[in-house]
């Protein structure tokens, strides 16, 4: 009887995942992906481009020993908070310290004045971000940073920072709710998402090419180069990425209207370097089962990617998943159908 309750709790755990509208997130097709992956025998799972962490969190809820990686630190902190972390939560007293401890910090208020948030909201962000440094436990800190990041994304029209001001403000509830209320609710959401699946999970924050970890099943979902859509994660999320690092080590490009910092370089998002990057990655993980998410209209083409995978794996299957991205480019606004992207899952054994 107790066993039954435990099993049900674990299955329901996935519904507690604090999702975001992260570009390229597999949130909407996670069950379709699982229908394919569940036939593979694996205890450990490596998510090399974890993004929103939805796939990793799902696998953690399926009892797998999960290793995540992403070069964005917003992804890393969320992963640290709810994938690697199995038991630590942020208490009400610590939340009070974050909200109430006075601070003279004014970096955000000065640098981002009149860009994304009001003066009062910027002051709130300065104070909370400074107070997060008073917390020393790495998991509590990761929960606080992730909650602040998610609060900013929810409060922001379209959840992105590629434009300034309040264009696209549709008055929806999340935009009317105060930043402080978003933050408090998000602390609860991240706390609730913490659980132990009985394995050791681990978060990494490296370039895929520098990651020296592998697993029984390696999942690759890189940012494909596509002439039709933007795949620059830093351009889209620079404000929250900067916030998560407290802008340490980042140089803001003062001439930009959005005050973004220089994008990280990814070999996957450029046509010239994508092919070599795939070869190197597949070679590195050739002793594991490899699953690759792939969208149509991308470079390498579907046939090219299939041929590259066959160089490293004897048995290659290609599964098609029907899926229409809700954003990623602007074409849906013009009513054309070029945003109808087909999703594929390649499996190499």
Ligand X SMILES: C[S@@+](CC[C@H](N)C(=O)[O-])C[C@H]1O[C@@H](n2cnc3c(N)ncnc32)[C@H](O)[C@@H]1O
210: its two tokens: 């520098």
Can residue 241 be called a binding residue for ligand X (CB under 6 A)?
Answer: no
Count of other CB atoms within 10 angstroms of residue 205: 17
Residue whose CB is less far from ligand X, 17 or 42: 17
Residue least distant from ligand X (Cβ): 51
Q: Evaluate whether 339 touches 45 at the Cβ level (below 8 Å).
A: no
Distance CA 173, CA 18 (A): 17
- Least CB distance to ligand X at residue 165 (A): 26
Interface residue with ligand X among 266, 288, 306, 339 (CB under 6 A) is 266
Bin 285: left if φ > 0, else alpha if -120 < ψ < 50, else beta: alpha
Binders of ligand X in range 204-233 (CB under 6 A)? 207-208, 221-223, 233
CB atoms within 10 A of CB 58: 23
Determine the interface stretch with ligand X among 66-74, 104-112, 283-291, 309-317 (rule: CB under 6 A). 66-74
Of 26 and 140, CB closest to ligand X: 26
| Residue in 13, 44, 75, 85 binding ligand X, rule: CB under 6 A | 75
Q: Which residues between 26 and 55 bind ligand X (CB under 6 A)?
A: 26, 49, 51-52, 54-55
Binding of residue 159 to ligand X (CB under 6 A): no
Q: Identify which range of 68-76, 116-124, 247-255, 304-312 contacts ligand X by CB under 6 A.
A: 68-76
Q: Is residue 261 a contact residue for ligand X (CB under 6 A)?
A: no
* Cβ count near 91 (within 10 Å): 12
| Least Cβ distance, residue 42 to ligand X (angstroms) | 17
90 binds ligand X (CB under 6 A): no
83/95 with CB nearer ligand X: 83
Token match 């290609």: residue?
Answer: 318
The reply to whether 22 sits near ligand X by the rule CB under 6 A is yes
Binding flag, residue 150, ligand X (CB under 6 A): no
- 167, burial (CB in 10 Å: exposed 0-12, middle 13-18, buried 19+): exposed
126/241 with CB nearer ligand X: 241
Place of tokens 């706390």: 191
Residue 86's SS3 state is coil
Tokens at 347, concatenated: 């499996």
- For ligand X, the binding residues in 286-325 under the rule CB under 6 A are none
Residue 192 CB-half CA count within 13 A: 15
Q: Is 335 left (phi over 0), alpha (psi -120 to 50) or beta?
A: left
**Helix or strand run (H / E) with residue 294:** strand 289-295
The residues that touch ligand X, with contacts defined as CB under 6 A, are 22, 24-26, 49, 51-52, 54-55, 70-72, 75, 207-208, 221-223, 233, 266, 268
């Amino acid at each position: 009887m107790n066993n039954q309750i435990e099993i049900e709790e674990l299955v329901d755990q996935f519904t507690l995942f604090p999702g975001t509208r992260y570009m390229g997130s597999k949130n909407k097709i996670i069950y379709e992906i699982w229908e394919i992956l569940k036939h593979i025998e694996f205890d450990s799972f490596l998510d090399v481009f974890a993004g929103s962490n939805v796939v990793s969190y799902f696998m953690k809820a399926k009892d797998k020993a999960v290793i995540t990686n992403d070069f964005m630190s917003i992804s890393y902190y969320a992963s640290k908070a709810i994938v690697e972390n199995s038991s630590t939560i942020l208490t009400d007293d610590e939340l009070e310290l974050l909200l109430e401890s006075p601070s003279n910090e004014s970096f955000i208020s000065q640098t981002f004045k009149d860009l994304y948030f009001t003066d009062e909201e910027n002051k709130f962000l300065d104070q909370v971000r400074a107070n997060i440094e008073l917390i020393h436990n790495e998991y509590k800190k990761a929960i606080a940073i992730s909650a602040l990041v998610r609060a900013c994304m929810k409060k922001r029209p379209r959840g992105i920072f590629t434009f300034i001001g309040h264009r696209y403000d549709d008055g929806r509830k999340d935009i009317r709710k105060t930043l402080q209320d978003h933050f408090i609710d998000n602390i609860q959401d991240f706390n609730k998402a913490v659980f132990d699946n009985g394995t050791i999970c681990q978060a990494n924050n490296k370039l895929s090419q520098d990651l020296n970890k592998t697993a029984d099943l390696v999942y690759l979902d890189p940012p494909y180069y596509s002439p039709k859509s933007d795949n620059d994660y830093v351009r889209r999320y620079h404000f929250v990425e900067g916030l998560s690092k407290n802008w340490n080590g980042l140089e803001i490009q003062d001439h930009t209207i959005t005050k973004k910092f220089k994008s990280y370089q990814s070999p996957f998002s450029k046509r010239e370097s994508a092919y070599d990057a795939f070869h190197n990655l597949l070679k590195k993980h050739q002793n594991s089962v490899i699953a690759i998410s792939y969208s149509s209209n991308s470079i390498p083409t579907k046939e090219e990617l299939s041929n590259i995978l066959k160089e490293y794996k004897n048995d290659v299957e290609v599964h098609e998943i029907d899926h229409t991205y809700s954003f990623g480019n602007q074409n849906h606004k013009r009513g054309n159908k070029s945003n109808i992207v087909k999703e594929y899952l390649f499996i190499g054994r």
